[in-house]
Amino acid sequence: MDEQQRHTALVTGAGRGIGRAIALALAGAGFDVIVNDLPGSDDLAETVDLVRLQGRKAVALGLDVADLAAHDGFVDRAWSAFGGIDCLVNNAGVSVAKRDDILSVTPESFDRLISINLRGPFFLTQAVAKRMVAEPVDDLRTIITISSANVDFASVDRAEYCLSKAPLAMMSQLYAARLAAHGVNTYEVRPGVIRTNMTAIARERYDRAFAEGLAPIARWGEPEDIGQAVAMLASGALPYSTGETLRVDGGLAVRRL
């Protein structure tokens, strides 16, 4: 990456876990980073410090991505922080409050997941994309959305999570078709089983599954695995690809006989 050029990334849900790992990987790739999490997050300050330790600038901005009315003001602040946004990473998301059978899913749980995991990223991407189109640059820009292996794999004990994540694959393709002419490539990164607070509840289950051959690469994925993938895409390693999915799942989706 040319250090003489401006490279700035906005990462949602960057307080910890995958989001923090993405922010640090982008910093390592030469990006200044705007890190986001819920307003009042106690974790963002540490992410900012870690980015700065890599010699890059960092700013923390609070936002609940489900709060659509706050998007325009948030994007204004993010855009102004370093004079633009070259990469948006849609990472913020939640899992179900309680794993339960699909026959027990409530409208309240369904609406919560759709609001945060799908509706929020769609409209935040729209707001950032409008600014990118209105203020073009010569360099490639990227929009990278973190989805889930549940785009491919049905989990009937968290059906609403699957339904909130699967449409992100199409969202990425739609924005790819719309934005390519404006020098913006979009990608979907599809993690497998990643070691985070979200998956800690199922640790023993996945430990057994990996031991029994769940994936060809027989280990948990780490947040840093996702961070490395995002940094590669954001750095322009695949300039003639857009709308593509990068699975970071240890081969989980490989069909085997």
Catalytic annotation, residues: 161
How far apart are the C-alpha atoms of 178 and 136, rounded to whole Å?
15
Q: Which of 18, 9, 19 is nearest to 59 (CA)?
A: 9
How far apart are the C-alpha atoms of 129 and 84, rounded to whole Å?
12
- Only one residue has tokens 């003639």, namely 240
- Only one residue has tokens 């600038």, namely 57
Residues 6 or more apart whose CB falls under 8 angstroms from that of 29 comprise 1, 231, 234, 235
How far apart are the C-alpha atoms of 233 and 248, rounded to whole Å?
13
Burial of 201 (0-12, 13-18, 19+ CB in 10 A): exposed
How far apart are the C-alpha atoms of 212 and 203, rounded to whole Å?
14
